[in-house]
Each structure stands twice: as C-alpha cells, then as structure tokens.
C-alpha cells in the first residue's frame, strides 16, 4: 500500500518502520524532513535492532504526502489534530483510509468532515508498544509490545478491513471493537496522567518551587492510586449509562493492571519496566523546579482527554465528582485556552451525540 505517516515522533517512527519493513510504500509527513535517513530502525532495550525498513520519502509538502496515499496514519498530539485534519481534507478525496493512534483525544470529531464525505476513519485503542526516540529521523526504541491490538472504525461496518491491515503490519491479532466510543472513553493517559499530576502538584501556585519531584511512575504513591481508581470508577458508571453502545472494551484500570486496591495499583505502576525512569514533567527555574504546563501531560490529557470524558458524562447524565475535582484543579493553573468541545462539531445534545457515534 501507499502509506503516509503523519508525525515523526515516537509513535510515528515506530509505525513507519513496521510499514516499511513489510515493503509498503511509506512517506513520513514531518516538519523536519531534512534530518531523515531513508533507513529507519527499531531497537530493543539493549540497543539491538529488531525491525528496520526503508521509507520512500520524508516531506513537509502536504500535496506530496497525501495526494496518492491509500492509508494515512496520524500520530500527532490531540492539540494539533484539527489543523492536521483540515490539511488532509484539503489534499485528499474520499478514497484513503485515515487512522489515528492512540484512538482517544477527540480525533474522530476533528475528522468529522472527512467521515461525512465518505472516508473511513479508524482508531487503534492503545499504542502497539512503548516507543522512545533514540535519534529522530533514524531510530526509535520500542518495548513491551502488546499481544493483541484493538481497532474501531467510523462507519463501524468498515472495522474489519482496518483491523486486517493493522494485523498484517504488526503481526499481532487485531480485534474489531464494535463502537468507536470505546476508544473515546479509554481510561489510559486521560486518567493516569491527570490524577498523578493533580496529586503531585495539588498545592502548586505561581511562585512556588520544588527542590525536586518524584519519578512519574517509578515513585507512584497510594494517594495517586486512590484518585486514579475513583476516576476509573466514574468512567465505568458513564459506560453503564449508555446501554445503546457496546462498551465492553472500556476496561477498568483495576482489570487492565490487575490491581483492585490502591496499594496494589501503586505496586503495579511503580514496577512496570517500560515506565522506569520516566520523569515528572517539570521546568527548572531559580530555586528549583515547577510543573511544565506546556507538557502534553497537561495540554493534551486534561483538555483533550479528561475533559472529553466529562462531556460524555454530561450527555449520559452521570455525576463525576472526582473527575470534576481534577478538572477544576487544572482550570486553576492552566495556561492553554484551547480545549476540545463537542459543540464545535455540531454535537450539542444526546441525540446528535448518538447519531455521530452510532453510524
């Protein structure tokens, strides 16, 4: 296939390597094409190459990137998804499949115009593996590959076709999820990152500094786990209030991490090898460090993550006091004004919400 990967970061490089390794015709759409080596590779924790492939082109020209693409995989942050969706809409027709990974963050609404004109849009529930760039344009380290991937599509009738393509690229079983809303409500980073940040920086205000901060996962604590599980419970209540959708794939984090209690969750999250060494997002200033409010952990996971879950809760008529508390805390320190709103896409009530997600 002629495949265009949008974004040359961790996930985009990982996808580009796997697609090129399978001899697909791969283009990477990136703002820095000049740094690319046509040969990209994936290494393991020991630095040994596990996958490699030659891409056709790296370019920042949208016409060259999209005009002949049969599959477009989008791997950019939710904060720029609207701009990317508009660019793809302007440079394609209704033929290419458009996918996004991970599948939460409101990307399905950003691509609503493409869906309305006939493009099949799909999302992969979670990233296939933890990916960290070693050298941009050349090498990425990927660890912890999932045994099974999950895909959902709009319209849902085209899900099997999308799953078969992803399965062939990664050589992993790919299961079709019946309703895209499962991806929208996936309690991954929108719950994990936001509750941890709220716990770590609950007393922060401009002018306050910290001598240092704990590692984000490796030094996770029970207070973070308690808030995490409380918000996770509220997500499950939202699912129960939407019986017309098949939301069995919105798996509780208690089940996903096999950790029914706060203490068990703390032990689990602090011991995951792929999370070792990940820092808390901070900026150094005179006197210590402060939260990095420009980090995606803040700008994406609150405004395009937890906020979306809250808006779905409103459509479902479910009260979410712990999610509200976490969002209200962020509202008090946020520096980014942009945020996802369903109403910007004509989804203003339960009827329009159901029409969009049940197609």
pLDDT tens string 287-330: 999 999 999 999 999 999 999 999 999 999 999 999 999 999 99
- What is the average pLDDT across 46-56? 96
For residues 240 and 236, give the distance between their C-alpha atoms in angstroms, rounded to a whole number. Answer: 6
Measured N-to-C along each axis, helices 321-331 and 222-240 cross at an angle, to the nearest 10 degrees, of: 120
Residue 221 clears pLDDT 80, i.e. is over it? yes
CA gap 290, 269 in Å, rounded: 24
Q: What is the mean pLDDT of residues 255-272?
A: 96
The pLDDT of residue 34 is above 90: yes
Cβ contacts of 68 within 8 Å, gap of 6 or more: 2
Q: Where are the domains positioned within the chain?
A: 2-177, 189-357
Q: What is the mean pLDDT of residues 190-209?
A: 96
Helices and strands (DSSP H and E) totals, the chain: 15, 14
Q: What is the pLDDT of residues 13-32, one digit of tens each?
A: 999 999 999 999 999 999 99
Band of pLDDT at residue 37, cut at 50, 70 and 90: confident
The answer regarding whether domain 2-177 maps to CATH 3.30.565.10 reads: no
Q: Please check the confidence at residue 336 and state whether its pLDDT lies above 80.
A: no
Second-level CATH architecture of 189-357: Orthogonal Bundle (1.10)
Cis omega (within 30 of 0) for bond into 190: no
Q: Residue 93: what pLDDT?
A: 94
Q: What is the pLDDT of residues 277-299, one digit of tens each?
A: 999 999 999 999 999 999 999 99
pLDDT at residue 259 greater than cutoff 80? yes
Rg, C-alpha atoms of the chain: 20
In this predicted structure, what is the pLDDT of residue 359? 83
User: Residue 104: its pLDDT value, please?
Assistant: 87
Per-residue model confidence as pLDDT tens digits over 110-128 = 999 999 999 999 999 989 9
- In terms of Cβ atoms closer than 10 Å to its own Cβ (0-12, 13-18, 19+), residue 339 is middle
Full-model pTM: 0.88
More confident site: 338 or 189: 189
- The pLDDT value recorded for residue 79 is 87
pLDDT digits (tens, 9 = 90+) for 150-184: 999 999 999 999 999 999 999 999 999 999 999 99
Q: What is the pLDDT of residue 161?
A: 96
Summary mean pLDDT of the chain = 95
Tell me the pLDDT band of 144, cut-offs 50, 70 and 90. confident
Share of the chain above pLDDT 90, in %: 92
Secondary structure element (H or E) that encloses residue 66, with its range: helix 62-66
């Amino acid at each position: 296939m002629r495949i265009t990967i949008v974004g040359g970061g961790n996930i985009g490089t990982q996808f580009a390597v796997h697609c090129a390794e399978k001899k697909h015709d791969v283009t990477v759409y990136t703002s820095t094409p000049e740094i690319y080596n046509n040969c990209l590779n994936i290494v393991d924790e020991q630095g040994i190459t596990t996958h490699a492939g030659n891409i056709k082109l790296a370019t920042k020209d949208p016409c060259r990137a999209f005009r002949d693409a049969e599959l477009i995989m989008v791997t950019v942050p939710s904060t720029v998804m609207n701009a990317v969706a508009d660019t793809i809409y302007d440079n394609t027709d209704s033929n290419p499949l458009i996918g996004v990974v991970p599948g939460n963050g409101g990307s399905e609404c950003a691509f609503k115009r493409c869906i309305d004109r006939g493009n099949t849009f799909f999302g992969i529930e979670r990233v296939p593996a933890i990916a960290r760039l070693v050298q941009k344009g050349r090498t990425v380290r990927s660890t912890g590959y999932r045994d099974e991937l999950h895909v959902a599509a709009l319209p849902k009738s085209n899900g099997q076709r999308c799953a078969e393509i992803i399965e062939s690229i990664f050589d992993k079983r790919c299961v079709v999820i019946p309703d895209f809303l499962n991806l929208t409500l996936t309690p991954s980073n929108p719950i994990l990152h936001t509750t941890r940040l709220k716990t770590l920086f609950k007393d922060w205000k401009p002018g306050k500094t910290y001598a240092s901060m704990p590692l984000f996962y490796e030094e996770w604590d029970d207070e973070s786990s308690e808030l995490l599980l409380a918000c996770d419970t509220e997500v499950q209540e939202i699912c129960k209030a939407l019986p017309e959708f098949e939301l069995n794939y919105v798996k509780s984090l208690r089940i996903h991490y096999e950790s029914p209690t706060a203490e068990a969750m703390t032990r689990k999250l602090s011991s995951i090898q792929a999370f070792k060494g990940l820092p808390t997002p901070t900026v150094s200033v005179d006197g210590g460090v402060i939260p990095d409010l420009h980090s995606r952990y803040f700008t994406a996971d609150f405004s395009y993550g937890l906020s979306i879950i809250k808006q779905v809760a409103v459509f479902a008529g479910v009260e979410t006091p712990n999610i509200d508390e976490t969002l209200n805390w962020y509202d008090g320190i946020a520096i980014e004004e942009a945020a996802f709103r369903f109403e910007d896409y004509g989804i203003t009530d339960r009827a329009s919400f159901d029409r969009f997600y049940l197609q």
